[in-house]
Amino acid sequence: MKSEQPVFQGVATALVTPLTEEGVDYNRFADLIEWQVSKGVDALVAVGTTGEGSTLTDEEHREAIRFCVEQVRGRVPVIAGTGSNDTAYAKELTDWSCRVGADAMLLVTPYYNKATQQGLVASFRAIADVSTKPCILYNVPSRTGCNLLPATAAQLADHPRIVGVKEACGNISQITELAALAGDKLDIYSGNDDQILPILSLGGQGVISVLSNILPVETGDICRRFFAGDVKGARELQLRYLPLIQALFCEVNPIPVKAAMAAMGFCDNYLRLPLTPMEPEHEQKLLSFMRQAGLDV
């Protein structure tokens, strides 16, 4: 049920998780968090898709969320990635994240085993029932094989702790239908960096962003300009960074952004299998676009 105050308005960075062969590099994770906060992001997402939550151990997953909460110290909301294709595990992780002080939960649709629409309703309600914090649903059917339909999201909006949807279905027509059915009940966030402006124009509250790992100020400026009434300026930024956005997704996320962040010194270019480092020719193109955006890499 949409509250008067959204969890955040503007840009939330879907943080990478700095990793080495030994585990999470918490010194670099702290540096990344501090840099992001200093650049004025509106929220941070800990251990989502970009944070490689799928290959962190349960202990690492929990500790990374706890660490992020403690490092941020209430300066911006921390949204914990607690969704799973195992509803019982998602409930457990959500309850734990609430208790360590996360400000909101990000709940992805079940992957691999998937679900019917009624299964999604039952699962998300069960997770939200144990949460003491707001929950943002995450629809990314290209990764999960499971599409949260607008009518289903509207049905879920009746739950007092389900307050928003991160939409990464890529289908503007579907997102338009979501806005028509539930835009007065749910805060809609873009889950795709190339669709920030279109979703803002439908009443969206902002973006949960991969791009803002490397360009936090500029990504936030797309939202800030739009909310200030400068639609033309917001459009110019959206289009200016489109080649860089495309390069960040030329291989499966978070492979490219991990390479980008390594080039900026925030982490090693280390991913856990089945993910592998970016192909050299793709990496060179990515670095070229980063230089064009003014980054010293």
CATH at 75: 3.20.20.70
263 lies in some domain? no
Residue 11 pLDDT greater than 70, yes or no: yes
Side chain identity at 207, as an amino acid letter? V
Decide if 258 is inside a domain. Answer: no
pLDDT of residue 2 exceeding 60: no
Q: Is residue 272 part of a domain?
A: no
Distance, in Å, from the CA atom of 108 to the CA atom of 29, rounded to the nearest integer, reads 23
pLDDT of residue 4: 72
Instruction: Tell me the three state secondary structure of residue 164.
Output: strand
Query: What confidence tier does 118 reach under pLDDT thresholds 50, 70, 90?
Result: very high
Q: pLDDT digits over 208-222, tens only?
A: 999 999 999 999 999
Name the residues annotated as catalytic. Answer: 138, 166
Has residue 90 been placed in a domain?
Answer: yes
Mean pLDDT calculated for residue range 271-283: 97
Residue 101 sits at φ, ψ, to 5 deg, of 105, 10
Can you read off the two tokens belonging to residue 241?
A: 């960074």
Kindly state whether residue 110 falls inside one of the protein's structural domains. Answer: yes
Identify whether 175 is part of a domain: yes
The reported pLDDT for the residue numbered 3 is: 58
- Residue 271 inside a domain? The answer is no
CA distances from 270 to 44, 72, 209, 294 (A): 21, 24, 21, 25
pLDDT tens string 170-225? 999 999 999 999 999 999 999 999 999 999 999 999 999 999 999 999 999 999 99
pLDDT for the residue 275: 97
By residue range, what is the domain housing residue 219? Answer: 10-228
Q: Is the residue at 244 inside a domain?
A: no
Give the chain's domain count. Answer: 1
Residue 236 one-letter amino acid: E
Q: State the chain's mean pLDDT as an integer.
A: 97
- Asked whether residue 126 carries a pLDDT value surpassing 60, the answer given is yes
